[in-house]
Amino acid sequence: MASTSMELSSNIMALPSEVLIDIFSRLSVKHVHQLQTVSNQWLRTISSPHFRRLYNMKSMTRPRALVVEESDQTYSRPSGIGPLSRIITISTIDLAGDNKIQKEFSFKIVGREYSFCVSSNLIIFNHKVCNPTTREIIDLPNYSNYQSVSFDVGYIPYTNTYKIVRLFGTDRGANYNCNYASKILEFGFETLTLTDGGPIPSSWRSMTHREQFSVKVDATCVDGVLYCLVRKGDIKEDRIVSMEIENEEFLTISCPQEDNQKLFENGQLTDLNGKLCLAYYSKELSRMCIFLLKDPKNQTWMKEYDIHLPRMGDWVRIVGYSNGDILIQGKTPLLYNIKEKRGRKLRKSNKNYTRLYYDRCFTLDRSRLRMQRRESSPIRNFHRKVQNVR
């Protein structure tokens, strides 16, 4: 038995580099990280920019849904505004499989100050950034004293780089988060660039660009461009502000027009198969219209889909696109097949479907990352995975 194990290990180690890279790129990122400990050769292979770009590109074809659940809230007595702490549980759903919810890990948030967003595979909360893939949670540097409005994250695939964009209000006397009078306000931007392996930069970079609007409605990142849907005044004049993540150039894009204004009550930006889409949902009409931006510079829109969505509730959002299906979150989660033009209901859950999630070879700070090893041999785990790939 010992000789068989040694022979197996020897055969695996003798595989050509291109064969190893192809096999590694098909595994989950958790197993890829475990295999880094097998040998210096495998560590060099997995750490190379070529492999990491290849792995991240292939992972775009196998997305999962990221699920966030908030529980175990604790309050002071007498109860104040907001809980003193809460537990955040992160889970994923394999959309290509049986749609079961798989718990990944949990962490605790302490303090009444509460900001939480999921954007481009990262979680931003309370001056911290979390990478669900590696389970890293690292403090962010202090930013300016201007009031924060939101945090969004853009991703540049070919450099494997994230950029956090902080939107803040420049008027210290205004309440940006409760702008009920729809007053037109000025907004500024700060950025923080995260490279694979880190470390986290020590400061934010302030931008001179300013925008004026009343409310930020939604945001998403598509192909290295961050898009923000904003509203100006109380007449619901929507427009889109885009920012190239790498060169930080801004562009204003007009929204599509529709005769039936009831469809424009709830707008959302989303990435559908690498294209920016603007989706509007009307509960009264039980419809969702999805417009595709064909040409950003010429601001050419096309109505791509008109989906009938009965009994979906008041709040309906598109989570993302996966293998020909649009994942829609509402009263009952739905996978809508584009070609067949029909939906397939998923099992109900009290959890929140948030965003699509991709396994990516990316670490926030390699010097601080401590991967947990399994008790079983990485070589034996690898052999089992090779058999599955075959």
Domains and CATH numbers, the chain: 14-61 (1.20.1280), 62-357 (2.120.10)
| Ranges 22-36, 90-104, 194-208, 281-295: which has the least confidence | 90-104
d(CA 115, CA 135): 19
Higher pLDDT, 356 or 361: 361
Q: Which residue has the higher pLDDT, 206 or 75?
A: 206
- For the segment 337-348, the average pLDDT, to the nearest whole number, is 78
341 in Cβ contact with 331 (< 8 Å): no
Q: How many residues does the chain have?
A: 390
| Mean pLDDT over each residue of the chain, to the nearest integer | 81
For residue range 148-157, list pLDDT tens digits in order: 889 999 999 8
According to DSSP, residue 317 is labeled E
Contact 200, 138 (CB under 8 A): yes
**Higher pLDDT pick, 288 / 285:** 288
Predicted TM-score (pTM) of this structure = 0.84
pLDDT at residue 227 above 90? Answer: yes
CA triplet 93, 98, 103: central angle to 5 degrees?
35
pLDDT band at 373 (very low <50, low <70, confident <90, very high): very low
Helix (H/G/I), strand (E/B), else coil: 243: strand
Q: What band does 80 get if pLDDT is binned at 50, 70 and 90?
A: low
Q: SS3 of 350, please?
A: coil
Lowest mean pLDDT among 54-58, 214-218, 379-383: 379-383
d(CA 101, CA 106): 14
User: How far is residue 46 from each of residues 16, 122, 273, 276, 376, measured CA to CA in Å?
Assistant: 14, 21, 27, 32, 20
What confidence category does residue 333 fall into, taking pLDDT thresholds of 50, 70 and 90?
confident
Per-residue pLDDT tens digits for 157-205: 889 999 999 999 998 777 776 665 578 899 999 999 999 998 999 999 9
Residue 259 reports pLDDT greater than 70: no
> Beta strands 287-295 and 275-282: pairing type?
antiparallel
With beta carbons less than 8 A apart as the criterion, state whether 167 and 226 touch: no
Across 242-252, average pLDDT: 94
The answer, yes or no, to whether residue 371 has pLDDT greater than 90, is: no
φ/ψ of 148, rounded to 5, equals: -70, 140
C-alpha span between 218 and 270 (Å, rounded): 9
Give me the pLDDT at residue 377, please: 46
Residue 384 has what pLDDT? 53
pLDDT band at 71 (very low <50, low <70, confident <90, very high): confident
DSSP 8-state class, residue 26: T
